[in-house]
């Protein structure tokens, strides 16, 4: 019995240790005055002060849509419409100021560093969300241009351009290409349409990259947990 417990603990430990050890911090963002974007220009810009949050070096940023099907358009435009996300040492109080900034070159929008989990579409659904590639599962940055506040705030096709619609409950994580000191650092991001979808979303930063646990790690951890549960049931009835 003791050997069984040890084995279960070892499996559980291996499972946990191979998963991401990130310590995410939920952050709040302030809406700036004015709007920016392409044509029409209705991108609302938000600012988060990343200094003094307990993370010295920033490794990843995660945004989750949790607008629960409320606000904004349907189909391929469902959910949070991300125009751009940048990091800068410059403090801005209005959207126009942010649109003129050149953000730090630490983003890579390819699937290697940008992990997108699409949310669901509200009917009538389209084959894929706006701003995604042909597979529908990754960002197409030639459309979304996530480094530039240039979104056209329209659902007309043609016309819509320059943003990614994440779908209801969609998630996007950016693993930065190098660590960034959070001293005097600001994050700015834009929501196309300024139609309330950003208010319910959550934003996390972490000093560790975000990883998708490999199925083998999860299976191993599951095996360990099952072992522990079996042991506890036997022992405690």
Site residues for Ca ion per CB under 5 A: 72, 77, 81, 83-84, 145, 148, 150, 162, 193, 195, 197
Smallest gap, in angstroms, from Cβ of residue 112 to Ca ion? 20
Nearer to Ca ion among residue 11 and residue 130 (C-beta): 130
Least separation in angstroms between CB 126 and Ca ion = 13
Strand order in the sheet with 57-64: 25-27, 202-206, 57-64, 171-181, 114-117
Answer whether 163's CB lies under 8 Å from 144's CB: yes
Backbone angles phi, psi at 159, to 5 degrees: 145, -55
Contact 86, 103 (CB under 8 A): yes
Cα separations in angstroms, 21 against 27, 104, 208, 210, 212: 19, 25, 7, 9, 12
What the block records as the tokens of 83 is 């125009």
Comparing CB distances to Ca ion, the nearer of 46 and 77 is 77
Cβ proximity to Ca ion: between 5 and 117 the closer is 117
Least Å distance, CB 84 to Ca ion, is 5
Q: How far is the CB of 74 from Ca ion (least distance, A)?
A: 9
C-alpha closest to that of 35 among 172, 198, 155: 198
Our CB check for Ca ion shows the closer of 81 and 204 to be 81
Of 192 and 220, CB closest to Ca ion:
192
Q: Is 186 exposed, middle or buried (0-12, 13-18, 19+ CB in 10 A)?
A: buried
Q: What is the H or E stretch that residue 205 is in? A: strand 202-206
Minimum CB separation of residue 176 from Ca ion in Å reads 18
In the complex, what is the shortest distance from the CB of residue 189 to Ca ion, in angstroms, rounded to a whole number?
Answer: 10
Instruction: Give 56 or 70: the residue with its C-beta nearer to Ca ion.
Output: 70
Whole-angstrom distance between the N-terminal and C-terminal Cα of the chain?
A: 14
Which one, 145 or 154, has the nearer CB to Ca ion? 145
In angstroms, give the least distance from the CB of 148 to Ca ion.
5
Q: Provide the 8-state DSSP code for 125.
A: P
Name the residue with the smallest CB distance to Ca ion. Answer: 193
How far apart, in whole angstroms, are the C-alpha atoms of residue 36 and residue 33? 10
């Amino acid at each position: 019995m003791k050997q069984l417990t040890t084995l279960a603990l070892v499996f559980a430990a291996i499972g946990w240790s191979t998963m991401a050890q990130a310590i995410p911090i939920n952050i709040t963002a302030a809406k700036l005055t004015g709007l920016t974007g392409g044509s029409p220009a209705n991108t609302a810009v938000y600012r988060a002060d990343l200094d003094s949050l307990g993370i010295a070096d920033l490794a990843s940023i995660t945004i989750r849509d949790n607008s629960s099907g409320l606000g904004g358009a349907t189909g391929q435009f469902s959910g949070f419409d991300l125009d751009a996300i940048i990091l800068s040492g410059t403090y801005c109080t209005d959207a126009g100021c942010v649109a003129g900034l050149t953000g730090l070159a630490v983003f890579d929008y390819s699937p290697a560093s940008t992990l997108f989990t699409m949310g669901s579409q509200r009917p009538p659904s389209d084959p894929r969300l706006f701003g995604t590639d042909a597979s529908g599962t990754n960002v197409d940055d030639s459309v979304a241009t996530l480094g530039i506040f240039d979104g056209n705030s329209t659902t007309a096709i043609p016309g819509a351009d320059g943003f990614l619609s994440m779908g209801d409950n969609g998630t996007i994580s950016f693993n930065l290409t190098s660590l960034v000191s959070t001293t005097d650092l600001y994050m700015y991001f834009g929501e196309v349409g300024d139609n309330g979808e950003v208010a319910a979303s959550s934003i996390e930063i972490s000093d560790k990259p975000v990883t998708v646990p490999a199925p083998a790690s999860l299976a191993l951890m599951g095996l360990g947990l099952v072992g522990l549960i079996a042991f506890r049931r036997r022992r405690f009835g």
